[in-house]
A and B are shown apart, each in its own frame.
Chain A
């Protein structure tokens, strides 16, 4: 009999061990790729004769680059960084997505506003639709390869830097670049190179993404565990692996299919968690969900943009601008009303890594909130995972008769009909739609729209990751994701009530019985 005890105890102990998983965390880099952050250039460009000269225009630099790197422009011209165009299938039909074609709820659309928007194009002179995408002189090598930190494209310059000292919006001063110095100091792109555009999407720091902003230039570990200057100090291109100038990664705001993407799992091979139950979460929960607990952790991001409120002036005829305590604008007469948030708790969506889009040619229902892009997926869709998302909300112009979204002409000279000079929506709509070759009824309204930005950056250190009860609780973060049973959150209220009554009856019944026993015995 005693032997049976010993064996039982042993088996119980062993069973405990067998349910556990080897407790080691593994980060395995696939292949033997070294981090680009540690890259040492093989060429000292300051020693090249071709660069020991003065340059009168940025195109002259490009020609100099291409005199040695004779084929690179072909690679560049094949990338989305150049074309801003992506033919992709949305709901089964092939459409042209990409920055050039999609509608967003920030500055709405590129068409008719090029010189402003294309200040972030890796080319020179895309000021309207006549831009020649095959002209290799127009490739901007420096915006990505400048290592001096002095190369700046002017905000309204269609991709060109300034030729003389210039003020932007009466405040920010821009200087002509020292092309010789910059050309002699080129190197692989750093965080600042990528950030010069990607941190400032939407016209200001962290406006668009919420998880990409200037704090990532030199982030602390708490802001971004990968790029932390006191940690891994990784560069963007350490994850956004680049082959022939094709940089992996693309945003669902401008794309649809799950191709050419970067994944956490590309480096972090499973299993990455010490316990099976935790590891199993990765089947239905994206890494980002737990490891990006909040976004906009350093600086606020724009959450709401109401164009319908634009165009207010004070009694002196001066455009109204209202700033908040964070130093961000809550109102700008040119753009309307904004709401900013810092350290934002994401919204969570099922997402199978394909997205739909509402195109400018699509009919909309103005009675409903229009989803400019939609993340596809549900609990029932086994390929979908729960993702953290920044949802950008706002109101923007639409054609109230044709029931379509409108591309307004915002930027330009007064005589072009631009809204920012005339503050006339009807005129801006007419000019913008004409430029896009689309019909406009002459009647406009404002419709509420939403845009979904899955979060990927600002991965927090593991001790800052979400814990169980952030979701597994009655009012947790997944309170709105109701198409499945979540332990700790969900229950049958009826069953719980009946069960509680049963337990109370057991306790109450026993107590009553016991008291009667004691009373009757003592008689």
Chain B
């Protein structure tokens, strides 16, 4: 309903994601050539480049681990069972009925429960299996010379093949699921630009709207301190009083807004409010800029700061003398 552009993925995160994506795709292409499935780069190049890519991947992993730890982003991947059924239901049924996503993306929780579980599995099981089996595969002779004994390369190779199949299957699911955002490109765009339109909760909407309620209101707003000095007014207040800028009135005593004979009334009202009372509505006569006279309806309430009444604030609405045509 209400959305806001949010920086969801930092620069490093995007660099990591896309570098990892390219490396995994390249490792899969070259790896399955080494596995004897097809001819693409030529066997020798496939082997050599697969090895280089493996090292690049390892370096990337080291940086990614550092980043996850230092930024606390690792917490994103702690698996949770909350909403996991809802997420599954969504993918299996809800998505076809245009039901909204059951979980919301926020900067604090970018991943839905299924993603958390899958990525956790990848990071804790599949990728370590791939890296360890891969480097044992690559440095098989050296490992043997260092005293590790394998009856054959086959165990290592089979684990590595197993991991490769899981990663490729993941890749296809991942690419497809990336299109399940609304619109379908939103997730992909976000991973490229870092920004995404994230849906706001009503609390977030309110939080954002409230400060503007006073500023943008057509009711005049005022705030007097305990001694009756004007501390804050809004644009509507200035318009009603005929002033052009807050600087003309802020810091001056509120008595300038009344005829001298009405000043005690204002003082009484202030005292009342400072005593804790509220004024629901009252029509008063005002003195605006250059002595202009007028009437307005006002409200008043005490302003509490740190539990103490620090002044009086309220809203005013101009009351026209001549009747408006109905």
Which A residues fall within an 8 A CB radius of B? Answer: 1-2, 4-5, 8, 11-12, 15-16, 18-19, 275, 277-278, 280, 283, 379, 467-469, 472-474, 484-485, 487-492, 495-496, 498-500, 502-503, 505-507, 509-510, 513-514, 516-517, 520-521
When A485-B153, A499-B161, A502-B165 are in contact, do A517 and B35 touch as well, CB less than 8 Å? Answer: no
Bitwise, B39-52 to A at CB < 8 A (1) or not (0) is 10001100110011
Total interface residues on B, CB under 8 Å, equals: 49
Flag if A487 contacts B34 (CB, 8 Å).
yes
Flag if A472 contacts B63 (CB, 8 Å).
no
When A485-B157, A488-B35, A491-B35 are in contact, do A516 and B169 touch as well, CB less than 8 Å? Answer: no
Look across to chain B and name the residue whose beta carbon is closest to the beta carbon of A520. Answer: B96
Look across to chain B and name the residue whose beta carbon is closest to the beta carbon of A505. Answer: B169
Complex contacts, A283 vs chain B, CB 8 Å: 141
Complex contacts, B161 vs chain A, CB 8 Å: 491-492, 495-496, 499
Complex contacts, B35 vs chain A, CB 8 Å: 487-488, 491
Flag if B158 contacts A492 (CB, 8 Å).
yes
Number of contacts between A and B (CB, 8 Å)?
A: 125
Query: Helix, strand, loop or mixed for chain B's interface?
Result: helix
When A499-B165, A502-B169, A503-B168 are in contact, do A4 and B12 touch as well, CB less than 8 Å? Answer: yes
Flag if A8 contacts B15 (CB, 8 Å).
yes
Give the complex CA separation of A404 and B52 in angstroms: 58
Look across to chain A and name the residue whose beta carbon is closest to the beta carbon of B13. Answer: A1
Give the complex CA separation of A513 and B88 in angstroms: 13
Query: Helix, strand, loop or mixed for chain A's interface?
Result: helix
Q: A277-B48, A484-B152, A506-B172 given. 8 additional CB < 8 A pairs?
A: A16-B52, A16-B55, A485-B154, A488-B34, A498-B165, A499-B161, A499-B168, A514-B179
Counting chain A CB atoms within 10 Å of each CB, the highest count among B59, B60, B153, B162 belongs to: B59
When A12-B56, A498-B165 are in contact, do A277 and B96 touch as well, CB less than 8 Å? Answer: no
What are 24 A-to-B residue pairs whose CB atoms are below 8 Å?
Answer: A4-B63, A8-B59, A8-B60, A11-B63, A12-B59, A15-B52, A15-B55, A15-B58, A16-B52, A19-B52, A275-B48, A280-B141, A283-B141, A468-B43, A488-B34, A490-B154, A491-B36, A498-B165, A499-B165, A502-B166, A503-B165, A506-B170, A506-B171, A521-B98
Give the complex CA separation of A495 and B157 in angstroms: 11
Q: Which A-B residue pairs are the 8 nearest by beta carbons? A: A499-B165, A510-B176, A485-B154, A468-B43, A506-B172, A15-B55, A520-B96, A488-B36
Which listed residue (A19, A467, A513) contacts B176, Cβ 8 A? Answer: A513
Give the complex CA separation of A489 and B36 in angstroms: 6
Complex contacts, A379 vs chain B, CB 8 Å: 152
Give the complex CA separation of A521 and B96 in angstroms: 7
Give the complex CA separation of A513 and B180 in angstroms: 10
Counting chain B CB atoms within 10 Å of each CB, the highest count among A8, A275, A509 belongs to: A8
Flag if B56 contacts A516 (CB, 8 Å).
no
Flag if A2 contacts B11 (CB, 8 Å).
yes
Flag if B59 contacts A468 (CB, 8 Å).
no
Residue B320 lies at the interface, judged by CB distance under 8 Å to chain A: no
Complex contacts, B34 vs chain A, CB 8 Å: 472, 487-488
Complex interface residues of chain B between 178 and 219 (CB less than 8 A to chain A): 179-180
Flag if A473 contacts B166 (CB, 8 Å).
no
Flag if A520 contacts B36 (CB, 8 Å).
no
CB distance from B167 to the nearest CB of A (A): 10
Give the complex CA separation of A472 and B157 in angstroms: 14
Look across to chain A and name the residue whose beta carbon is closest to the beta carbon of B158. Answer: A492
Look across to chain B and name the residue whose beta carbon is closest to the beta carbon of A516. Answer: B96
Give the complex CA separation of A516 and B56 in angstroms: 39
Flag if A506 contacts B10 (CB, 8 Å).
no
CB distance from A291 to the nearest CB of B (A): 16
Residue B78 lies at the interface, judged by CB distance under 8 Å to chain A: no
Residue B2 lies at the interface, judged by CB distance under 8 Å to chain A: no
Flag if A19 contacts B51 (CB, 8 Å).
yes
Residue B95 lies at the interface, judged by CB distance under 8 Å to chain A: yes
